[in-house]
Amino acid sequence: MGIENQITVLVIEDSESMRKVICGFVEGEGHIALEADGHIEAFEQLEANTVQLILMDIEMPVVNGIELTKQIRKRYERWIPIIFLSGNDRDKFLTQGIEAGGDDYLTKPVKPTILHAKINAMVRIATMQRELNLLNQKLEKLTLQDPLTKVMNRRALDKKLKEDWYTCQRINQPLSVLMIDIDHFKSYNDHYGHAQGDNCLKKVALSLKQNINRETDSIARYGGEEFTVLLPFTCLEHAEIKAKQLARLLEERSIEHIKSPTAKVVTISIGIACTSQEITSYKELINNADSALYQSKVNGRNQTCIYEQSIRKIS
């Protein structure tokens, strides 16, 4: 059996001999068997392992299988299939088990052929669940990524900004934001065409991304030709250094822009804001960085300005 078809089965049974028999069968089928002789060990195993199937005796002392199933369903959001094992095959007993949250019922002594079929059915369910989870992860990535530049999109930026804001507030560390705009991008598009304009956006995004070095830092496409860089745990002085570095490295890439009145290569204007400036919300932080960016463009572009009580040009 391939490891992709292997599942982890938790056998909850107060009879040690029966528990060993069932675990031996599960392992003989190529799966992982975990043991628990009651509710305490059951929860210990569930906390320590990712279980895909539970085989549970109903008639156990202290906490029986029906009550334990109710507790499991209440505690865990993830649905774990539960198959009851019992020598009592009365309809009323079966109904109680299913109503408690059980999925199936096998009478003892358990026939190997029937248990084999039940486990194989659960393997198919577990495989489909893994495939669904992978698809959901890919979809989640797509919904949070700008399809053109492959950096975070605006939705992902809003989420990450909130997370960074609350993290830095909680541990009393600064959070800096860079708002970046490609200078004279409309002129670039008009002259070179939209296809080349898209290539320019991808090149700028790549240059910025390659020079955002720390795992905690992130970059997003804010919209159009604007990008945002989040720098948690970064003071204003270090944010200035990073802004100058990004601007310099992009200019050194020498992406031709003969229609720019500022330079004959693609350049960027940057606005900086930091939480050290007595900012009261992450929305205010972004707005202040945007105000500083606006001032950079008013001043002639290809420069960086910092938002303070009065916006200060630094380059």
pLDDT in tens, 78-87: 888 899 888 7
Position 4 confidence tier, pLDDT thresholds 50, 70, 90: low
CATH number of the domain located at residue range(s) 154-313 in this protein? 3.30.70.270
Q: Is the pLDDT of residue 315 over 70?
A: no
Q: Which residue has the tokens 């496409």?
A: 221
State yes or no: is 44 an active-site residue: no
Which residue type occupies 304? T
Domain assignments of the chain as residue spans, ordered by start: 3-141, 154-313
The catalytic residue among 13, 225, 226, 240 is 225
Residue 77, pLDDT score: 84
Q: Which of 62, 92, 97 is nearest to 81 (CA)?
A: 97
The pLDDT > 70 percentage for the chain reads: 94
The two three-digit tokens of residue 297, written as one number? 């463009």
Put simply, whether the predicted model's pTM sits higher than 0.75 gets the answer: no
Distance CA 137, CA 66 (A): 34
Query: In CATH, what class is 3-141?
Result: alpha beta
pLDDT of 163 > 90? The answer is yes
Q: Give the DSSP per-residue string, 78-145.
A: S---EEEEES---HHHHHHHHHHT--EEEESSPPHHHHHHHHHHHHHHHHHHHHHHHHHHHHHHHHHB
- Residue 125: pLDDT band (50, 70, 90) is confident
pLDDT of residue 313: 61
* Strand 268-274 with 175-182, pairing: antiparallel
Tokens 């992982």, residue located: 32
Residues 6+ apart with CB under 8 A from 255: 200, 203, 204, 265, 266
pLDDT per position as a tens digit, 179-237:
999 999 999 999 999 999 999 999 999 999 999 888 899 999 999 999 999 999 999 99
**How far apart are the C-alpha atoms of 63 and 69, rounded to whole Å?**
10
